[in-house]
Structure 1
Amino acid sequence: MPSHAKDVQVQLVTEIQDEDRKETMEIQEPGQFFTRGDTQVLTFTEHPEEGDPISTMVTIKPAHVSIKRSGGVEMRQVFQESLETENLYHHTYGDFHMKTFTERVDFRSLEESTQGRLHLRYTMTLNHEVTQAHRLTLTFEEENDS
């Protein structure tokens, strides 16, 4: 991590909607946030109840967001408004092909506000079969030294 990284508290809320059901997952973890040029990076480690920890790195550039996860799962998902991207999701249960169409990206930096916020709205098709609507909201704020 760069020396100018800030310790932050991260909250990640993911909502998945298909025709008749909605699933919401929420995690809270400590993380780090730093800026390099026009790129802002947020890193944290998820500790799922089952399986190995998952290191997550969210890279935010103008008009481009990338989420890379490694450890218990391996994937790199790219979000660009009004574009479809593809990637593989490597999981203990096998590999899944993912197509992501990003409808909307909203980002407020920690430099603009006391709370940073990334909101993504997208549809994802898994293995060319199931398409679901997703909403991902990632908020993060600097930890107080109090």
Structure 2
Amino acid sequence: MPSHAKDVQVQLVTEIQDGDRKETMKIQESGQFFKRGDTQVLTFTEHPEDGEPVSTMVTIKPEHVSIKRSGGVEMRQVFQTSTETENLYHHTYGDFHMKTLTDKVEFRSLEESTQGRLYLSYTMTLNHEVTQAHRLTLTFEEESDS
């Protein structure tokens, strides 16, 4: 981790809308935030109750956002407004083909506010069959030294 990385508290809320069914998942973890040029990076490790830890790296650039996960699951998902991207999601239960069409990307850096925020609204199609609306809200703030 770069020496200028800040320790942060991360909250990730994912909402999935599938017809009239809505699922919300929340995680809170400690992480690190750093900036290099016009790229901002947030890293944290998820500790699911029923599986291996998953390391997550969120890279935010002016033209796109990428989320790379490794460990219990393997994937790299890219978000670019009005652009469809594709990737494979490697999971214990098998591999899934994912197509992502990003509607909206909003980002507020820790440099602009005491709380950083990344908001993504997108449609995802799994294995060419199931299409769901997704909203991802990632908030992070510097840990206090108390």
The match for 2:27 is: 27
Q: Which runs of 5+ in 1 are unaligned?
A: none
Aligned counterpart, 2:112: 112
Query: What is the match of residue 62 of structure 1?
Result: 62
Residue 142 (structure 2) aligns with: 142
For residues 78-130 of structure 1, what are the alpha-carbon distances to aligned partners after superposition, in whole Å with 9 as ceiling and x for unaligned? 00000000000000000000000000000000011000000000000000000
* TM-fit CA distance, 1:7: 0.1
Q: CA deviation at 1:63?
A: 2.0
**1:140 positional shift:** 0.0
Distance 2:66 2:23 in 1: 23
Mapping 1:1-146, distance limit 5 Å: 1-146=1-146
Q: Matched residue pairs, number?
A: 146
How far does residue 20 in structure 1 lie from its aligned partner after superposition?
1.6
1:12 Cα deviation (Å)?
A: 0.0
**In 1, Cα distance between equivalents of 2:67 and 2:22:** 22
CA RMSD in angstroms comes to: 0.3
SS in 2 for 1:17: strand
Whole-angstrom CA distance in 2 between matches of 1:111 and 1:66: 20
How high is the sequence identity, in percent, across the aligned residues?
88
The alignment's TM-score, normalised by the length of structure 1, stands at 1.00
Letter matched to residue 145 of structure 2: D
Q: Deviations along 1:53-89, whole A, 9 cap, x unmatched? A: 0000000000200000000000000000000000000
Which letter maps to 1:110? L
Structure 2 CA distance for aligned equivalents of residues 14 and 100 of structure 1: 15
Q: Name stretches of at least 5 consecutive residues in structure 2 with no aligned partner.
A: none
Paired with 2:97 and 2:60, the residues of 1 have a C-alpha distance of 23
TM-score, normalising length: structure 2:
1.00
Letter in 2 for 1:103: D
Q: Distance in 2 between matches of 1:33 and 1:74?
A: 21
State the distance in 2 between where 1:144 and 1:10 align: 13
Partner SS for 1:51: coil
CA–CA separation in structure 2 for the residues paired with 1:41 and 1:20: 35
Q: Structure 2 CA distance, aligned partners of 1:20 and 1:109?
A: 34
